[in-house]
Structure 1
Amino acid sequence: MRIHGLRTASLCAAATLFAIAGCSGGSAKKNELKLYNDKNAWTPFFNDLGALAKQQTGLSIKPVGYSDERAYDAFITASFRTKIKPDLFTWQTGSKLKDIVDLRQVSDTSAIWQQAIKDGDLSQDVEKYFTIGGKQYCVPTNVAYWGMFYNKKIFAKYGLKPPATWDDLIKAADTLKQHGQKAFFTQATPNLFTFTWFQQLLAGSDPALYDRLSTGQAKYTDPGVVAAMTRWKSMLDAGYFSDPADTSDPADVFKNGKAAMVNYGTFFATSLTQRGMRPGSDYGFFVIPSVDPSLPKTPLIFETGPLCSLNKAADPAANKKFLSWWVTPAAQEKWSASRGDVSANPRVKVSNPEFAPVSKDAGTGKYQLVQRYFEATPAPILAAALDGFSGFLADPGSYMKVLQTIQKAADGYWSQHKTGS
């Protein structure tokens, strides 16, 4: 992660926005809510929801999207100390949500969750990711399951089918390699998603070890973690991956056929929709098989992102009204269909035919849900890991040094924090 030099840039970006955004404080009732988010590409979809919200609730939303995560984080955290405050904002679960809850900055949404669970609009399986100290905070902006997007035309060209086992997946990669086709997408920079294959290989080999790692009960230098890294290295050495130095958008790489498969969350469908790729005809999706075939359930990486309101919001009642509406079928059907993704509301029918099976099966206990590495890992350790994985992709032989460096960051963090689940 490009840590050095970014702090100043981020704060400057935040200060610039302060100057143009204007003060949102006050006690007047609001008809339009500014929704700050780190998903700038989703602006058209937020606008669609805003139009529907206006019709059904009388409240519209104005999305303010960021593309730079650090600048976004700087703005939100600065808003805790200034009069420039978002009405609503997206955030992350895990330690980042706990941090702002501990600062007493985010409003309690327990009543919204209780009613939504009673109505069948939210599930208790998701509730735990929003629960801190026995109370709920924020509501889901989205949910996503991580699996493999595959180019149907490339698969058809070489007679391939979605694999049932890990060995089948590697055989498919070998077949593609024989024809000069890169099997998998990877990218060292920008490095926000360099953790993707690490989480898949470790969770798919030993999900219990993966969980212990996130709570400081295991080390990055433990044999099972090293084994996941050496497997990743062997796949890189085999030539299965696209060029890590290629900074093209993964959706463009996928559409152009430079990589036959992309390991990503279901939200990736939004980028494919924007590029005219159609589910079922242009691309498919499958759950990545366990690396260890003896696991009783296939681990399925899961993530959910919060949509939050500050305690000191300009119009808390309007925020609560919007958040209550956001989780209803009317809102979620529109939200899910517009992006071609799954929904946090179990009552919403998934419009994307490629996601319908995993969405259904994930709720029946067929898979072992595993929290995404990005949310499961405390921020200081995550920063070191993203840096390390980026370096590893450039130099796969450095994997042991990378793990030792990440563990040093983990030792520093866990020495100041209690380990445990």
Structure 2
Amino acid sequence: MSDSARDTVLAPLDARMADLESLYEDLHRHPELGFRESRTAAEAARRLTSYGYEVTTGIGRTGVIGVLRNGPGPVVLLRADMDALPVTERTALPYASTVPGVMHACGHDVHVTCLTGAADLLAAGREHWSGTLVVLFQPAEEVGDGARAMIDDGLFGAEHSGIPTPDVMFAQHVAPFGAGLIAYAHDACMAASDSLKITFHGTGGHGSRPETAVDPILMAAAFVQRLQSVVAREIAAKDRAVVTVGSFQAGDAPNVIPDQAVVQLSVRTFDEHIRTQVLASVDRIAMAEAAASGAPREPETEVLNTFPVTRNDDRTLEQVNAAFTDHFGAPRLFAYEPAAGSEDAGLIATAADAPLYYWWLGGWDPDEFRTAMASGRLAQDIPSNHSPHFAPVKQPTLAMGVEALTVAALSHLKAGR
């Protein structure tokens, strides 16, 4: 596609930006947890309908699909996730969350806004491209079930025969680096994740007579401490893995030894062999600590959710990055180490047998980011995703995100009609 045609498609963005900023603020004020995104989904569906898309709702409970058929050519899918997190916001933004204990702490409100803007621009500029555009608003990414729910609900099957299978898929995620930048990684760009719940069983008793009990708190505490040796002592330095305990629950009173303790943890890996090794080590240590404590029964492990490694298709990445470089300029792109966070977007690409390109969108105030980087205080001064202080700047984040999705789509759709 020529630069002039692409610029023509993007030209209305400035006039639409006030509306998109208003949408973003509204989404941020009204966050919804996974599979409860009814308000967000309704707004996405309403807007897609007004842009001329064929709209299907309720896929995977709250998922929304818009299809715009525009002559012969490739089928391009653009995806955004919609759900928020059970986090109490502490940003002091004038448009902070009004929902107690729920916040868009991972920027999915940015994703929805940017996809909405791109869907609008591409529909308005349809005389400059040919093909089919599919826009997908996905529920429940944070719990790892949203993409799978949409697939299980027949996303690309006979149940929804009006939704074409894409030839390529694009997605992006706002991140705590300078707004106006795009980061990318070849091949594996995000880690596989396994979230586990392990219940340790003991024998309850009075706190004054521990000899009559088997203390599951001591058992679980020993497990948590020993767990740190997996990455430190069992994984080679050239390999990457993260094991984090995020929840430890046991007992209700200071003078009562409970009969069980529950630990929840996540495992992040980039290689299937390492994943298998780490999960086996977690199981081995749990069983060993229970045995060492004389537990009356073996611990029970429940898999809460799993995410596969998110992998970029290198050929697609290079093609889109060429378009990004042409549009934004080379200094706005940089290669990035694969993130230890996890995503389920790859499941949709795999179900469609389509190549995926997933990039990171800078969302933090550029001056604050540069100052923090220069002082070596990025971790201390720039809140990360899932922080109660996570607050992307509206601009140039939203404009860059809309443009990136639009440019990526146009890099694969046929020119003209």
Q: Tell me which protein shows more helix as a share of its residues.
A: 1
TM class, shorter-length: under 0.3
Larger Rg: 2
Q: TM-score, normalised by structure 1?
A: 0.26
Q: Tell me which protein shows more strand as a share of its residues.
A: 2
